[in-house]
Amino acid sequence: MDILNLLLQGVSVSILPANLLSCIIGVLIGTLVGVLPGIDTVSAIALLLPFSYGMDSTAALIMFAGIYYGSKYGGSTTSILLNVPGEAASVVTCLDGYPMGQKGRAGAALAISAIGSFIAGTIGLIGLTLLAPPLAQAALAFGPPEYFSLSLVGLILLSKLTGTSTLKSALMAVIGIMLSTIGLDSLSGISRFTFGIDELDRGFDLSIIAMGLFGIGEILTAMTHADAKPDIPSVKFRDLYPTKEEWQRSITPMFRGGIVGFLVGLLPGPAATISSFISYGLEKRYSKHPEEFGHGAIEGVAGPEAANNSAISATMIPLLSLGLPFCGATAILLSGFMIHGITPGPSLITERPELFWGLIASMYIGNVLLLIINLPLIGVFVQLLKTPLNFLMPLVAVVTLTGAYSINNSMFDLIWVIFFGILGFLLQRAGFEPSPLIIGLVLGPELERGLTQGLIICNGNIWTFITRPLAATILSLGFIVILYNFVTWFTKFNNKRKELDANRS
Amino acid sequence: MENKAIPATSKYPDKPITLIVPYGVGGGTDLVARLLEKRALEYLGQPLVIVNKPGGAGTIGWNEVAGSSDGYTLGMTGVEIILQPLYGQTKYHYLTALDPLAQIAELSIVMVVQDTQPWKDLDELIRYAKKHPGEIKFGHGGMGTTGHVAGEMLAKSADIRLEQVPFQGSAEATASLLGGHIQVLFTNPASVKEHVKNGTVRILAVASEHRLKDPVFANAPTFREQGLDVVCSNWHVIAAPKDLPVEVKNKLVKGFEAIINDPEFQKNIEKLGFEFSYLGPKESQEKWLTENQKLSKTVQETGILDKIKAQKK
Amino acid sequence: MIEKIISLLFLIGSLTYLYWAQEFTFGTLGSPKSGFLPNLAGVTALLLSLLLIFRQFRLKKTKNKDAVDWTKFLFILIGFAFYLMILTIVGYFAATFIFLFYLFKVADTSGWRVPLAISFCGSAAFHLLFTYYLKVALP
């Protein structure tokens, strides 16, 4: 097969000592970046760009790509151990990963997360290898009305994600949307809800809110237990690895997550984050133990972690085939390309096949490396949990705050992290789930952009808007799912009522 | 102007110089700044420390530069320093609060359409637009940005009605063009270079004084050549707060002149997709003044100012 | 109890948001302006929080959560505020050192020397990590 040949050629390029070394360095840095809250992929690559001038282009790009997908492996570590998302894409892992850690299953969670990332990352790469050009074209067919429909349906379905009260989750989601409107709006050119405070123009950074709600919130909760400090279950060696049952429950989610992540990654927006949420929702829906979600369901870790890794492979498709970066990290990768005189686009495959295939081959190798690196580290990380809480929590607080500061070099951000930490703490006590807020925050801008741009494109004609073939399909599918949910809910409600009536008589 | 700390001019610079990039990490301006950072030690005698202060379309970063007085804080500027004060209240009037030290490069705007569209050149498009007012949608990177301004300038000077669709950045806008959701795009050449090369995108005009040097775009006529007064471009200029001691300023100017005119630096700038174009402090200052005059008129005439004001009641 | 307070807060929040959002033009369908989505979102939030409060007053059950040590909570907040204030004044290393030690004490760690030592090592480690390896400009 032609492609296989090319891929093998790529492998021969990627195992050249210089390239292999860059790959190793890249994935190591990536893991570190993922583990540390606050330092994100974009900053890391930007910082290293000037250093890469002297390097050979292929080696440099291999390193940058390594940082990119490496970070998605590391992000789950702090989520599981400390409820602090190392990256926005790892927020969902906190939901079930952290409870698992509390129950002493941290090792299992970390292992499943690493393996799921590997499997899905590889699936994504296979997709990338085989389908890059046609998929890129297909992705272009999605225009603003389609993005709006996706965001709307996504919001409605995903806000039912966690917790027991749909009403509360819905409210959190809308509040997330409202928060996302604060700041300078590029669609209209004016600042909204900023009251003349320049710093607010930037709007709320997703990471800041996530670190505050989840990280600082958890620290506050942990440190203010009025009762004696909870016993950290001592971790035995066999606890480091997943049980057979956990394995079995994780396999399908990993594959499902891999596919979902891949599809979502083709579209603009923070693909890894969105795909992790979607995967979580899917797993909850298909799980035989939905009530466990939020309390340590292994599927809730396997699926999302798989999804965010395969999303990475997918985001490379628009970048490499069309030269279009759909998210922050690919944008800086694009800059990395251009600095080395390479412009990705339709001609890249034909003009520089050794670069293209070398890069892809290095991604396969990198995934394997990451698996090899991460698995043994699990033992090390789990030891961290043995630290008495009262020493651990303050340290985590400082790391979180420092990381938050480093995102924008802004003291102002720190105030917000703490504010959201307090909010997260209060919300937890009041039974509100914080994750729908993150969904609202992430999808809000997509929603607004899709709506505004779409309406202009369709001349204000709503009918034209919703009868575009793709948009119509998405909206109808969404409508059907919502209807189905409503009917099931109603039937349950009715049955309960009948039960109560029957019991009374 | 009281209590300004005058830097010791003879020893300047004796500690690292901060260069504020008022945009996020990895953006075009940021990368140019990092290119400067690489050679700063040689030519300026002290390392450059890049600090990103994104937000407010650049205003947050520029406020900090304008408000500093120690002579060790500089900033990267673009045409937004002129546009932002025009659109609304900014803390400083950047034109008078900042002093340009050197221009590094220019970014022009090109007008492109998909290959599959029937208009072979600008004239055909204009004729179509006259017959179907408001039907053609053009995309750009954000309200009030150079792409938007260029588009509106075209609409005014050709006397046609175009609908503008704002996007957040050129990548999204380009994707929309390729997907056929918008018909026309005003953006920077780097975003569409590959597609023009490939033939999927056709370039109708360039909004600059002269044709572009890059071979891919060399055949594209400027708007001026076609009889339309549409010239709009962005640029990268290193600026310092006003009223630096003359000696300090001269040292900086000389240092930057050397860095920027270094052939390797030029090559790297062009690789990023910008057109290298060095201007010294005096020329930059003049350019700022002329651009300000021109743009103040343009944003009013084309109605952009009204549109932006209309967003608030 | 706290549920009702939070819901009420959200209600007030949505009202305030809507009030501020009136400053922005709503626009038309063919040309939506900056006030479009905010108004829609604000109204939705308002309705939802009303529904929520309504429901909460009808059902009376409250979940039993672990008791919270509100004094500690207050102390931690004061610590945070203090940390933010002195961060720019004394610099990262010193501020973090003090803050860590303070938090250790609030978290009931015993003794003086161990917390002091860990605060020192911690601040040093973080400082090194962020400043030198990651080139982040810390205060």
Q: Which of B168-177, B280-289, C63-72 has the highest mean pLDDT?
A: B280-289
CA–centroid distance for A251 within its chain: 19
Beta sheet of B137-140, edge-to-edge order: B163-166, B137-140, B184-187, B110-114, B201-206
Return the structure tokens found at B80: 């937004």
Number of Cβ within 10 Å of residue B218's Cβ equals: 10
Provide the chain A residues 335-354 that lie in CB contact (below 8 A) with chain B: 335, 338-341, 343-348
Question: First vs last Cα of chain A: how many Å apart?
Answer: 73
User: For residue A1, with 0-12 CB atoms within 10 Å meaning exposed, 13-18 middle and 19 or more buried, which class applies?
Assistant: exposed
CA distance A114 to A483: 36
pLDDT score of C67:
66
The reply to whether A16 and A81 lie within a common domain is: yes
A35 close to A378: Cβ distance less than 8 angstroms: no
A323-to-A133, A140, A343, B190, C132 alpha-carbon distances in Å? 12, 12, 7, 10, 34
Residues of B in Cβ contact (< 8 Å) with A45: 26
Q: How many helices (H) and strands (E) does chain B have?
A: 12, 11
Contact list, A53 vs chain B (CB under 8 Å): 38, 268
Query: What's the pLDDT at A307?
Result: 92
DSSP H helical segments within C33-69, as ranges? Answer: 36-58
Instruction: Please determine, for residue B247, whether its predicted confidence score (pLDDT) is greater than 70.
Output: yes
CA pair distance B313, C11, nearest whole angstrom: 25
Distance from the C130 Cα atom to the nearest Cα atom in chain B, whole angstroms? 14
- Residue B309 C-alpha, separation from nearest chain C C-alpha, in angstroms: 10
pLDDT digits (tens, 9 = 90+) for A445-470: 888 888 888 888 888 777 888 888 88
Is A88:A273 a contact under the CB 8 Å cutoff?
Answer: yes
**Angle CA A176–C54–A179, to nearest 5:** 10
Whether the predicted pLDDT of A161 surpasses 60: no
Q: Hey, how many other C-beta atoms are within 10 angstroms of the C-beta on C113?
A: 7
**Separation CA B228–CA A249 (nearest Å):** 66
Residues of chain C positioned with their CB less than 8 A from the CB of B311: 24-25, 33-35
Nearest Cα of chain B lies from the Cα of A432 at a distance, in angstroms, of 31
Which range has highest mean pLDDT (A312-316, A349-353, A381-385, B300-304)?
A312-316
Exposure string of A24-44, with b = 16+ CB inside 10 Å and e = fewer, is bbbbbbbbbbbbbbbbbbbbb
pLDDT of residue B4: 43
pTM exceeds cut of 0.90? no
Q: Examine the domain organization and report whether A360 and A458 are in the same domain.
A: yes
CA separation for the pair A215, A212 (Å, rounded): 5
Distance CA B280, CA B282 (A): 6
Chain A residues in contact with C36 by the CB 8 A cut-off are 448, 451-452
Q: Return mean pLDDT, chain B.
A: 82
Name the strands in the sheet holding B233-241, side by side, starting at the edge strand that comes first in the sequence: B48-52, B17-21, B73-77, B233-241, B98-108, B275-279
Question: Chain C within 8 Å of A388 (Cβ-Cβ)?
Answer: yes
* Closest C-alpha to A98, from A360, A434, A496, A412: A434
* Same domain (yes/no): A149, A263: yes
Q: State how far the Cα of A292 lies from the Cα of C106, in Å rounded to an integer.
A: 34
Q: What pLDDT band is residue A198 in, cutting at 50, 70 and 90?
A: low
pLDDT of residue A1: 55
Inspect the interface and report whether the beta carbons of B311 and C22 lie closer than 8 Å: no
Residue A475 and residue A435 share a domain? no
A70, with CB counted inside 10 A (0-12, 13-18, 19+), is buried
Burial A337-360 (b: 16+ CB within 10 A, else e): bbbbebbbbbebbeebeebbbbbb
Q: How far is C33 from chain B (nearest CA, A)?
A: 6
Please name the member of B35, B54, B142 whose beta carbon is closest to the beta carbon of A186.
Answer: B142
For residue B231 the two structure tokens come to: 């010239």
Please identify which residue in the block is written with the tokens 């009374």: A504
Please judge whether B312 and C23 are an interchain contact, meaning their C-beta atoms are less than 8 angstroms apart: yes
Question: In sequence order, what E strands does B117-225 have?
Answer: 137-140, 163-166, 184-187, 201-206
The minimum CA-CA distance between C26 and chain B, rounded to whole Å, is: 8
Residues 19-48 of C with CB under 8 A from B: 22-25, 33-35
Mean pLDDT score of chain A, rounded to an integer? 81
The verdict on a CB contact (< 8 Å) between A332 and B35 is: no
Counting the structural domains of chain A, the total is 2
Q: Are residues A308 and A195 in the same domain?
A: yes
- The 10 Å Cβ neighbour count of residue A133 is 14
Q: At B213, is the secondary structure helix, strand, or coil?
A: coil
Yes or no, beta carbons of C138 and A431 under 8 Å apart? no
Q: Assess whether A139 and A210 both reside in one domain.
A: yes
Short-list B32, B207, B3, CA closest to B103: B32
- Residues of chain C with C-beta less than 8 angstroms from the C-beta of A394: 99-100, 103-104, 107
pLDDT at A225 over 80: no
Say which of A43, A322, A457 has its CB closest to residue B182: A457
pLDDT in tens, A77-99: 888 888 888 777 888 888 888 88
**How many Cβ atoms are within 10 Å of A305's Cβ, its own excluded?**
37
Q: What residues pair up with B102 in beta bridges, in sequence order?
A: B238
In chain C, residues 6-35 whose CB comes closer than 8 Å to chain A: 6-7, 10, 13-14, 17, 20-21, 24, 28-34
pLDDT over threshold 60, residue B1? no
A495 and A346, same structural domain?
no
- DSSP secondary structure string, A270-334? -HHHHHHHHHHHHHHHH-S-GGGTTS--THHHHHHHHHHHHHHHHHHHIIIII----SHHHHHHH
Identify the sign of the CA torsion C42, C47, C48, C54. positive
Predicted local confidence at residue C83, as pLDDT:
85
C34 and B312 within 8 Å at the Cβ level: the answer is yes
The distance of Cα A230 from the centroid of its chain, to the nearest Å, equals 30
Element (DSSP H or E) covering residue A485: helix A469-504
Nearest to A39 among C69, C99, C134 (CB): C134
Q: Between B9 and A303, where is the model more confident?
A: A303
The torsion angles phi and psi of B266, rounded to 5 degrees, stand at -60, -45
Indicate if the pLDDT at residue A234 is higher than 60: no
pLDDT at B3 over 50: no
Query: Which chain C positions have a beta carbon within 8 Å of B37's beta carbon?
Result: none
Distance, CA of B95 to CA of B82 (rounded, Å) = 7
Indicate which of C24, C26, C134, C138 best probes the interface with B, i.e. most B CBs within 10 Å of its own CB.
C24
The string of pLDDT tens digits covering residues A318-367 is 888 888 888 878 888 887 887 777 778 777 877 788 888 888 888 888 88
Which residue in A48, A51, A152, A174 has the most chain C C-beta atoms within 10 A of its own C-beta, making it the best mutation to test that interface? Answer: A174
The beta strands (E) that lie in A37-135 are given as: none
Q: Which of C48, B147, C104, B139 is nearest to A396 (CA)?
A: C104
For chain A, say whether B86 makes contact (Cβ under 8 Å): no
Residues of C in contact with A47 (CB under 8 A): 134-135
Contact A187 B166 (CB under 8 A): yes
Chain B contacts of C25, Cβ < 8 Å? 310-313
Residues A449 and A472 in one domain: no
Helix (H, G, I), strand (E, B) or coil at B102: strand
Q: Where are the domains of chain B?
A: 17-104+235-283, 110-231
Strand segments (E) across B6-109? 17-21, 48-52, 73-77, 98-108
- The answer to whether residues A384 and A505 belong to one domain is no
Q: Which residue has the higher pLDDT, A297 or C64?
A: A297
User: Which architecture characterizes domain B110-231 according to CATH?
Assistant: 3-Layer(aba) Sandwich (3.40)
C108 chain-A contacts, CB cut-off 8 A? 390
Q: Is a pLDDT exceeding 60 seen at residue B8?
A: no
User: What residues contact A228, with CB distance under 8 A and at least 6 apart?
Assistant: none
Q: How far is A9 from chain C (nearest CA, A)?
A: 35
Q: Which two tokens stand for residue A63?
A: 């390193």
Same domain, A501 and A460: no
The Cβ of residue C11 has, within 10 Å, a number of other Cβ atoms equal to 18
pLDDT of residue A461: 78
- Which other chains touch chain C, taking contact as 3+ CB pairs less than 8 Å apart? A, B
Q: Closest Cα to residue A422, out of A434, A411, A439?
A: A434
* Cβ distance of C107 and A190 shorter than 8 Å: no
CATH 3.40.50.360 fits B17-104+235-283, yes or no: no
- Tell whether A313 and A366 lie within a shared domain: yes
ipTM of the complex: 0.84
Domain that holds residue A499: 468-505
Residues with Cβ < 8 Å from A268, sequence gap 6 or more?
Answer: A147, A326, A327, B171, B172, B175
Residue at A243: amino acid letter: T
Residue B2 has pLDDT above 50, yes or no: no
